[in-house]
A and B are shown apart, each in its own frame.
Chain A
Amino acid sequence: MSLAYLREAVEQDDFEKLIRYVCLHFGDGDDVAGRKEIDKAWVEALKLLIERPPTSQELPTTNQDLPTAHQELPAINQDPPTAHQELPTTNQELIHELVGSQSPETLAHLFFYLHFYLVKRTGEWIHDGEL
C-alpha cells in the first residue's frame, strides 16, 4: 500500500485498511500470515512476563543490551542524563522513564521493532524463506 493509500485510510478512519497494512507488513505481503505473527509476538511477550511481575523487591534489568547504571540511556528528545540524575535500575523504572521521555513516534517505532524482536525469539521466523 502506498503512503497515499494509508493517508486516505487514516483520514477515513478505515480501521480494516490500516490493520490489513500492518498484517501485510508483518506477513511479508500475506495478511493471514501477518495476523498469526501478531499473535505470536503477544504470546511470546506474555510468556516472558508470567514469572516476572513487578514486586516491591527491586528487579534488575537483565537484558545485557539495555542501559546499565554505568551507561547513558539513549535519550532522543532530551539531554542525556547528568551525573546528578539517577538512571533506572529496574525494568519498571526503565519503562516508565522511557515512555515518559521519548516521543510518541519513537515509541511507535519501538513498538514495531519489538514485534520483530519477540517473533524472532519464538524461533519461528518466516522472513528468510526457510519455513
Chain B
Amino acid sequence: MRNEQLRPGLWQVVNDRYPGSMITKSDAVPLARFEKPLSEARLTFVSTSGVQPKGTLPFDVAHPIGDYTFRRVPSGSSPEDLEIHQLKYPTDGAMRDLNVVYPITRLQELVAEGTIGGLTDNFYSFIGYNMDPGLFEATVAEDIAAAVEEEGADIALASPA
C-alpha cells in the first residue's frame, strides 16, 4: 500500500497556518482487508464537507475550537435536499454541484448499474475544523463508527473536503 504524501509540502503549509495542529498517532488501527466483491458490498460515505440535510441544525462554524457533532444524510437524498455549512474551504463550486465534494448522485448511479452492491440508509457528515483531536476521536469518530457498524456497512468511503 502506498504511504506517501501526494502533495509534498502540504503538511508544512498546514502547520504554518495552524501551528501545532499536525499530530502523530502511534496506536492507529490497521485498515481491514476488503475481501467481499464490491458488487455485493454495502457502502457508506463519511465526509468532512459539512454537507447536511436542509432543515437540520447548521454546523457551528463560529466556535473557535470546532463542532464535534455529525449529521446523518439519507443516502437516497438528492443534492437539492442538501446544503453546506462550512467555512474552512471554498464552497462556491460545491454549492453549484454538490457532487464535487459529496458524490451522492455518483454513488447512487454506481449502485444502479451494479458496480456497488448497495448503500447504507445514511451517509455521515461533519465539519473538518476540529482543534481537539482527542475529543474528536471520542465523540465524532466513535459515534460515526458505531452508526456505520449498526447500519451493516461492508466498506466506508471516507473523504476530506
Contacts and interface: CB of A to CB of B under 8 A. Distances in A.
A115 interface: yes
Interface string B87-103: 11111110100000000
B64 A25 contact: yes
A38 interface: no
B23 A129 contact: no
Given A127-B87, A129-B93, A2 B21 contact: yes
B18 A128 contact: no
For chain B, the bracket of interface size reads 20 to 34
B20 A2 contact: yes
A2 B23 contact: yes
For chain A, the bracket of interface size reads 20 to 34
Nearest to B86: A127
Contacts of A22: 64
A79 B35 CA distance: 55
Contacts of A115: 62
Interface of B: 17-21, 23, 61-65, 87-93, 95, 131-135
A-side interface mostly: helix
A77 B23 CA distance: 36
18 contacts: A1-B19, A1-B131, A3-B134, A6-B131, A24-B17, A24-B18, A28-B87, A29-B18, A30-B17, A112-B63, A116-B61, A116-B87, A127-B88, A127-B90, A128-B92, A128-B95, A129-B90, A129-B93
Given A2-B23, A3-B132, A109-B63, A129 B18 contact: no
A126 B119 CA distance: 36
Contacts of B23: 2
A51 to B, nearest CB: 27
